[in-house]
Each structure stands twice: as C-alpha cells, then as structure tokens.
C-alpha cells in the first residue's frame, strides 16, 4: 500500500526534472518531464516508503545518512535540486502539507531558547571539533554568507568583502565601542579592531569558539582592543556606539525576538547604529526542518522578514536600511562543500562515514535551498535616531 501511495505522491510532486525510483524489490518507476536534472535513487529499506510519507524531511535525510537510500553516482546535489525546484514551483503532496501543519503548531515551543537551552543548542553544533571547521572554512573562520562581487571571487576574497561591506554600514570611527553578538571564532572582531580601530566586546556561548577566538586575539596583539566573553548577549550591560551580529539571529527563536531587539536598542548610544545579518526566507513565516533540528541546529529557525520587522517596530528602532542577498549564500555553501569533499578522508578519520554523509547532506540541502527554494540573507541596519546614518547609500561606495 505504501509503495502505491508514494507512487501517487511522486507523480504529483515531480513536474520538473526526471526522478527514477528503484524500490527494495528492484522495481523501477520514473517521474517528471524527462528533462534535467535526471536522478536515480535506490530505496534499500522495504519500509522506507512508509517512513517518507510519515515524515518526509526527516526520513529522507536519515535514509541518506544510513545508506538506506542511495543515489546513482552519489549525485546528492542533483536530487536535492530536483526536489527543491519542484517545491519552489509550489508543487506539494499531502504528506508534506500535514508535516508542515504539525510543525507550524509546535514551532513556538521548538524555538523557545532560555539560557540553559541556548547553551546546549550551541554546543551541539559548534563544540564538536575545531578541526572540522578548519577543513572547509576560509582562513579567517567566517561561518556565514560571503559576498561575491565577481563570479570568480575566492572564498577568502568574498568573506573579506562581506566584512568590509558590514564595516561600511556601521560607519566606524577610531575607538568606537562595538558589541559583537555571537562573535564566533573572532573574524569580525579582529577585522573591526585591526582595520578600523574599534574597541570590541564579543560574546559567544560556544566554549570552543571562545577558546579559539581568544587565542587568535592574543596572537594578533589586539588584547587591549578586543574583549571576548563566554556569555549570553542578554547578560551584557553598558552602552556601545555600534552593535553587530552576523549569523547569530537564526538561533534566537521567534518567542525572543522582542527581547533581542530590546537589548540591541538598550546597548546602543543615542546616535548608535546596529547591523544584523541573518539568513531569512522570502516566504511567509514557517518552521524548521525536523532533520535540521535533530542533527544540525537544534532550536534554530530561519525567519521571514515580516516577523523580524514586527519585533523591530515595537522596540522603537529606526530601520535605516534593509538589503537582501539572494544567491551569495548558495555560492558560499558550494565553496564549503567543495573543500569538505576534498578533505572528506580527514573528516572520516575524525568521525565516521555516517557523519560524513550527514554533513554532506546538510551542506548540499542548504545550498539548494538558496538556489531553488525560499532562502535568502537579510541585512538590517537599525538606529535609535532617524538621522544616525546618511540619507542615501552613497557612503557605502566611497
């Protein structure tokens, strides 16, 4: 019965591309228009059709991780592109809609992140091994969307351009105090202190990030300009000329949005400026994939601009600029995936084959979400005063 239901569902779902499914008994069925991308998958588990229909996102990711679903030539990028192209075109099936409805009902509970839970969520992803991130990030350890001014930019060049773009929006002057919310491995703090003369307080909840970032600050001779704390942003007091947050807002959770922007406002001086850089969705509010929640980012959520701005406007902050980056993160993720796959033997030695397949699935699915589905990057420039920044964007290009 489940194979028949899966067959009907795939005929509805696949309109673009060509998908051939070979079940555990060797029977093959083909779906789609016959055009590219063309993908053939093998379902090794007789119960996989039932699992895919009950929880599509979770079952698909787990089946790939465990080798219960294999792809000819291991062409996972083509499979994810095919699926997300069709989802992006609005194609769906009852199993997906039922799963989305259930996730929507439970999303506030899933995104509640009090301090102890926030610490555990961060540790799950960022404290696994520094050596892993060294294998695929740029030399400055930027774990967020790069900015590709030209198609042939290297990852290092694009990440430097991202930081320069953010610094320009912050309109820094020497000795300005900057609060870096979610400072990661210290790349932004080092750049703002070294290249712009800022004095930076950075916070992270990751013990591993704090250790590495602190070491980098010492090695750079910038300990007098950069203070790094293993702390939640909500524990910080005082006033700052600038607030910057890159790739951290995805971990805040919708129930805490007003709390977050209240802290941003309270930390800014009267003429202060904040720059918030976050992954977002161009569709209405949604929910997080259960596979991503379970294996990659517990407590994480990619927001719609509408729900972010609903919180901003209630905290008496001026929105002085909104910028939307579209395919920049797809290109960033492609660079990461290429480096990860080049070094996959080293990853396998650190972990195991299942971890390699899990991490590859995460990088590929994320890239294709930006290429073919609903994900973008938002940069919000915020201030307490209407005239805190110039009235045109000309200053960004000087």
Q: What does the pLDDT read at residue 112?
A: 82
Task: Give the per-residue pLDDT at 312.
Answer: 98
The backbone torsions φ and ψ at residue 172, rounded to the nearest 5 degrees and listed phi first, read: -75, 145
Range in 65-79, 114-128, 149-163 the model is least confident about: 114-128
In percent, how much of the chain has pLDDT > 90? 88
Instruction: Determine whether domain 2-109 maps to CATH 3.40.50.
Output: no
From the list 40, 145, 104, 141, the residue with the least C-alpha distance to 369 is 145
Summarize the confidence of residues 309-319 as an average pLDDT.
96
Going by pLDDT thresholds of 50, 70 and 90, the confidence category of residue 145 is very high
Query: Which pLDDT does position 35 carry in this prediction?
Result: 93
Q: What tens digit of pLDDT does each residue of 20-50 get?
A: 999 999 999 999 999 999 999 999 999 999 9
Whether 2 has a pLDDT exceeding 80, the answer reads no
Token duo for residue 204: 């992270």
pLDDT of residue 95: 86
- Domains of the chain, by residue range, sit at 2-109, 111-397
Which residues are bridge partners to 178 per DSSP? 200, 242
State the pLDDT at residue 1: 62
pTM summary value? 0.96
Gyration radius of the chain's alpha carbons = 22
Please write the tens of the pLDDT for every residue from 334-378: 999 999 999 999 999 999 999 999 999 999 999 999 999 999 999
pLDDT at 103 over 90: no
Alpha carbon 195 to its chain's center: 27
Each residue's pLDDT tens digit, 292-307? 999 999 999 999 999 9
The predicted model gives 219-226 an average pLDDT of 98
Q: Interior CA angle at 153 toward 150 and 158, to 5°?
A: 100
Mean local confidence (pLDDT), 324-333: 98
The more confident residue out of 102 and 19 is 19
Average pLDDT of the segment spanning 112-119: 84
Q: Of the candidates 385, 392, 374, 395, which has an alpha carbon nearest to the alpha carbon of residue 86?
A: 374
Fold identical between 2-109 and 111-397?
A: no
Mean pLDDT check: name the lowest of 102-106, 279-283, 350-354.
102-106
pLDDT of residue 114: 83
Query: What number does CATH give the domain 111-397?
Result: 3.40.50.150
Q: Higher-confidence residue: 285 or 108?
A: 285
Q: Check residue 115 and give its pLDDT.
A: 79
Nearest by Cα to 137 from 206, 82, 186, 72: 186
Q: pLDDT value at position 273?
A: 98
Average pLDDT, the chain: 95
What is the pLDDT averaged over residues 86-111? 86
| 233-279 tens-digit pLDDT | 999 999 999 999 999 999 999 999 999 999 999 999 999 999 999 99
């Amino acid at each position: 019965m489940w194979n028949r239901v899966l067959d009907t569902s795939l005929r509805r779902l696949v309109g673009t591309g060509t998908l051939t499914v070979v079940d555990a008994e060797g029977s093959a069925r083909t779906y789609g228009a016959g055009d590219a991308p063309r993908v053939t998958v093998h379902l090794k588990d007789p119960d996989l059709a039932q699992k895919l229909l009950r929880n599509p996102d979770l079952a698909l990711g787990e089946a790939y991780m465990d080798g219960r679903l294999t792809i000819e030539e291991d062409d996972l990028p083509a499979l994810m592109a095919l699926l997300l192209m069709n989802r992006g075109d609005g194609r769906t099936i009852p199993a997906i809609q039922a799963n989305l409805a259930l996730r929507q009902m439970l999303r506030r509970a899933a995104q509640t992140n009090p301090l102890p839970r926030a610490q555990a969520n961060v540790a799950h992803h960022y404290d696994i091994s520094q050596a892993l991130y060294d294998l695929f990030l740029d030399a400055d350890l930027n774990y967020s969307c790069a900015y590709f001014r030209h198609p042939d930019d290297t990852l290092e060049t694009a990440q430097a351009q991202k930081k320069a773009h953010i610094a320009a929006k912050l309109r820094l002057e020497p000795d300005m105090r900057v609060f870096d919310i979610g400072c990661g491995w210290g790349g932004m703090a080092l750049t703002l202190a070294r290249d712009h003369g800022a004095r930076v307080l950075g916070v992270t909840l990751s013990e591993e990030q704090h250790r590495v970032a602190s070491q980098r600050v010492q090695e750079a001779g910038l300990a007098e300009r950069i203070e790094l704390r293993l702390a939640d942003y909500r524990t910080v007091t005082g006033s700052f000329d600038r607030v910057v947050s890159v790739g951290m807002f995805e971990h805040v959770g919708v129930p805490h949005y007003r709390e977050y922007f209240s802290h941003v406002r309270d930390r800014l001086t009267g003429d202060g400026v904040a720059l918030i850089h976050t992954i977002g969705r161009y569709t209405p509010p949604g929910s997080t994939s259960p596979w991503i929640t379970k294996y990659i980012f517990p407590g994480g959520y990619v927001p719609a601009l509408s729900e972010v701005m609903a919180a901003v406007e209630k905290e008496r902050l001026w929105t002085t600029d909104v910028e939307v980056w579209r395919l920049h993160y797809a290109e960033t993720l492609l660079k990461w995936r290429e480096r990860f796959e080049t070094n996959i033997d080293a990853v396998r030695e650190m972990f195991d084959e299942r971890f390699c397949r899990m991490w590859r699935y995460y990088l590929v699915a994320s890239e294709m979400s930006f290429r073919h589905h609903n994900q973008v990057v938002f940069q919000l420039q915020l201030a307490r005063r209407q005239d805190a920044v110039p009235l045109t964007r000309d200053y960004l290009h000087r």
